Amino acid sequence: MGAGNLRKLLFFFTLILSNVLAEIDVIAELGATHVELLQQKGAPNAILPVRQERPDDDDVAFVYGDSYFYLYNNHFYRAFFSKRHSGEIYKGLKIGDSKGELTKLWGNKYDLEKDGLVWQKDGYIIVAKITTENRLESIWFIKDAN
């Protein structure tokens, strides 16, 4: 195996390993810079532009498997974990966990919004979409982008 192929293999292995092992405390990292996010999670699987109503409000999303980390002004301010996300999200919480597991983490004081629960916390909000069986389907963590 040539040196070029070995470097490619090492890079590929490092990329996969960083995505598998690098987890962050989503809430603690809200507001981190794009550099800090990359240091914590490694290289994303994809980087996507996210258009808003005004071009100067556009976001960039770093995609890690079935989770999306949104950046505005080079700061991480929003995370989304889809129903396909299979890993731990926050302090043992996983997609499919019961509503009771959510209230253990964030309490019984939440607002109802369509088919979800909303917790207003100091400096951020949590929006959890719940199935008809009272199970977590997907979840957002959002901090004010300004």
pTM of the model: 0.79
Residue 2's pLDDT is 59
Residue 115's pLDDT is 74
The CATH H-level superfamily of 3-143 is: CAP (3.40.33.10)
- Overall average pLDDT of the 20-45 stretch: 82
Greater model confidence, 69 or 20: 69
* pLDDT confidence bin for 136, thresholds 50/70/90: very high
Residue 8's pLDDT is 54
Residue 20's pLDDT is 42
Q: Average model confidence (pLDDT) for the chain? A: 84
**C-beta contacts of 37-43 below 8 A and 24+ residues apart:** 37/62, 37/69, 37/71, 37/76, 38/62, 41/69, 42/14, 42/15, 42/17, 42/18, 43/15, 43/18, 43/19
Residue 14's pLDDT is 44
Q: pLDDT tens digits, residue range 79-102?
A: 999 999 999 999 999 999 999 999
- Overall average pLDDT of the 103-118 stretch: 92
- Overall average pLDDT of the 102-131 stretch: 93
Greater model confidence, 78 or 20: 78
3-state secondary structure 74-97: CEEEEEEECCCCCCCCECCECCCC
The domain spans of the chain are 3-143
Q: pLDDT tens digits, residue range 37-76?
A: 888 888 999 999 888 888 777 888 999 989 999 998 889 9
